[in-house]
A = this chain, B = another copy of it.
Amino acid sequence: MTITQLYYVLAVAEHQNFTKAAEKCFVTQPTLSMQIQKLEDQLDVQIFDRSKKPIELTEVGKKIVTQARNIVNESYRIQDIVDQQKGFIGGEFKLGIIPTIMPTLLPMFLKTFIKRHPKVKLKIEELTTEEIIARIKDGHLDAAIAATPLEDENIKERVLYFEPFVNYIPKNHKLYGKEKIDSTDLEIEDMLLLEDGHCFRDGVINLCKVFKDHIDDKFQLESGSIETLIKLSNEGLGMTLLPYLHTLDIHEKEKENLHYFNDPPPAREVSIIYHKSELKMQIIEALQDTISGIIRGAIAFQDVKIISPLPK
């Protein structure tokens, strides 16, 4: 069994056609036929059902393809390791970003980064913290941007910036009259929260110092996006908290509803996180440099009180 054979299997599985797959692999069709037959002989199992047109995978074939993809992808990482050693900044890079950071941060740094490092092919995916941690561990993500600290010994963190929370309080709310808010003013009962699974939700709950168990039944009003939260709040359904960067591009009229915290404001720590193996570290550092440089101009709070993003 060779990596090449597995690669051929992937190509045929994808194109469902030996001839087209051969072209994609830059070899002739008999090469694929023979190599795949050889692999099937060695394993003594049919990977493809050639009676079906177009060709289909057998049941075992599907499992083999999944594993073959794994192996082929992992083999690419050997070259990545060498690139890193040589300080070569390029190649594919898979970055995860949590939903409450994505829409505000990405537009700020993406253009600058791809201009500065044109050889890097960024693939960005929006994922929850939980998904991000799993994918960093299994190697499907090279790095991610998330709220920290995560206290996971397999994952390293480099702080990019601290982002204070800002109160968004609609006019009918009892706290609206108060200019500056103290964290002790907050009551979890009339706070709009993101749906379960978002670490920003957990951060807010931690800020209110309520155990997660206690609030579950009291709250059904939950949303997946901060934009929706603002709209629900405008409808008088309660106050909410916004990450600072989100307050920069809300409508003029809605800005009247922003109430800042007393110093030091509660804040979330936003970091670039990656596997402790430090694969593709040169690209991670390039991202860190670009983002930190840009954020330095946008956020200028001195002292903040960091809130944990972890549940409970």
Contacts and interface: CB of A to CB of B under 8 A. Distances in A.
Contacts of A1: 3, 75, 78
Given A63-B279, A66-B277, A43 B3 contact: no
Contacts of A262: none
A86 interface: yes
Contacts of A85: 45, 59-60, 63
Size category of the binding interface on chain A: 20 to 34
A67 B60 contact: no
Interface in A26-77: 43-45, 59-60, 63-64, 66-68, 70-71, 74-75, 77
Nearest to A46: B85
Nearest to A9: B78
Given A66-B277, A67-B77, 17 more contacts: A1-B3, A1-B78, A2-B2, A2-B3, A2-B4, A3-B3, A43-B78, A43-B82, A45-B82, A60-B81, A60-B82, A63-B84, A63-B279, A64-B81, A67-B81, A71-B75, A71-B78
Interface of A: 1-4, 6, 43-45, 59-60, 63-64, 66-68, 70-71, 74-75, 77-79, 81-82, 84-86, 277, 279
